[in-house]
Amino acid sequence: MLKATVHIAVPTAFHRDESLNVEATLAHIQDLHRQGAQSVLVSGSTGEQHSMNLEEKLMLLQAVTEDQRLCGRMEIIFGVASIRETEAVKLAAAIRGTGVAGILLGYPPYILPSQAEAVRYSEKIAEASNKPVILYNNPRRTGFDLSVDAILQLSRLEQVIGIKEAGDPSKVEFLRSKIDKEFYYYAGGDTGLEDKVKLGFNRLSSMAGNVYPVEIANWFGKLLSGEPVTHAEREQMSKRIDEVFSGAPLLHLKAAIQSKGISMGICRSPLGNSVDNIL
């Protein structure tokens, strides 16, 4: 079972030639750990997951799990999704024997599987990984929307412990009324958190936490506890979140990390090819 209430979805560092920069990726995660972050998501949407081939994902997995400063001291969640089911299953199988705490199981973009096909895809990946599974529904990015019925079916698997819902947040209210076991509802991103908590979201997959790890964790904890929030607190947090999500979020995020002396490099094109990206 995953214990951290908040995990930070970290970007993947790339060199100027767009090759994988494992060292800088690890340096950023280590810096987050030093600031008190308890959990990170590696190779998710923020990590430009679908720009990486299987070999690169396996390289990143090996580096993260072999770093004794990280694995065992943080909850490492690894993103597993591919337009090719066979590659997703291979990655899940590689994760199986590692210290990775759980996987974020995403759906393939563009190809629009049926709900039955998506369920079978999920079952195969979950079985191969033998890790706690967070389902990841993000129709805006994939074009595919995991149905409530499919979520309910998959929630019956012992390994499936939650869902990161970045689509229709109102699904969570209904799911909470139907799922009897302990189940976690991850908000996908930091915007609109007060409303999402009211709907029943009880965990957070944070992007802004890359820049404000302590502040985001404290803010979300306060919302979950029902403590009153002052106007000044709300304004300050809104400003921080808007700062990260304005314009091109990944470019701004990497620039903010760069200002700390960690060179996250560029985003893989076409992201960033309309600006002078000098990271």
Mean pLDDT of 81-93: 98
Cβ within 8 Å of residue 238, ≥6 positions away: none
Count CB atoms within 10 A of the CB of residue 277: 17
State the chain's mean pLDDT as an integer: 94
Residue recorded with tokens 């001291």: 73
* 3-state secondary structure at position 79: strand
Count CB atoms within 10 A of the CB of residue 97: 9
Question: Looking at residue 249, what is its pLDDT?
Answer: 86
Question: Looking at residue 276, what is its pLDDT?
Answer: 56
C-alpha 105: how far from its chain's center? 10
Tens digits of per-residue pLDDT, 162-208? Answer: 999 999 999 999 999 999 999 999 999 899 999 999 999 999 999 99
C-alpha 23: how far from its chain's center? 20
Helices and strands (DSSP H and E) totals, the chain: 11, 8
Q: What percent of the chain has pLDDT over 90?
A: 89
The amino acid at residue 232 is: A
Q: Which of 95, 97, 6, 4 is nearest to 43 (CA)?
A: 95
Mean pLDDT of 203-226: 96
Distance CA(11)–CA(124), nearest Å, equals 27
- Name the pLDDT band for 278 (thresholds 50, 70, 90): very low
Q: Looking at per-residue confidence, does 92 or 275 come out higher?
A: 92
Question: Looking at residue 248, what is its pLDDT?
Answer: 84
**Phi first, then psi: what are they for 209, rounded to 5°?**
-60, -20
Question: Looking at residue 142, what is its pLDDT?
Answer: 95
Residue 279 has pLDDT above 50, yes or no: no
Q: Do residues 4 and 39 make contact, with C-beta atoms less than 8 angstroms apart? A: yes
Q: Do residues 107 and 113 make contact, with C-beta atoms less than 8 angstroms apart? A: yes
Tens digits of per-residue pLDDT, 1-14? Answer: 899 999 999 999 99
Distance CA(148)–CA(239), nearest Å, equals 34
Tens digits of per-residue pLDDT, 14-65? Answer: 999 999 999 999 999 999 999 999 999 999 999 999 999 999 999 999 999 9
Point out the residues that are catalytic: 136, 164
Question: Looking at residue 246, what is its pLDDT?
Answer: 78
Tens digits of per-residue pLDDT, 240-271? Answer: 998 888 778 899 899 999 988 999 999 999 99
Q: Write out the binding residues.
A: 46
Question: Looking at residue 275, what is its pLDDT?
Answer: 63
Question: Looking at residue 53, what is its pLDDT?
Answer: 97
C-alpha 173: how far from its chain's center? 21
Tens digits of per-residue pLDDT, 106-159? Answer: 999 999 999 999 999 999 999 999 999 999 999 999 999 999 999 999 999 999
Q: Write out the binding residues for pyruvate.
A: 46
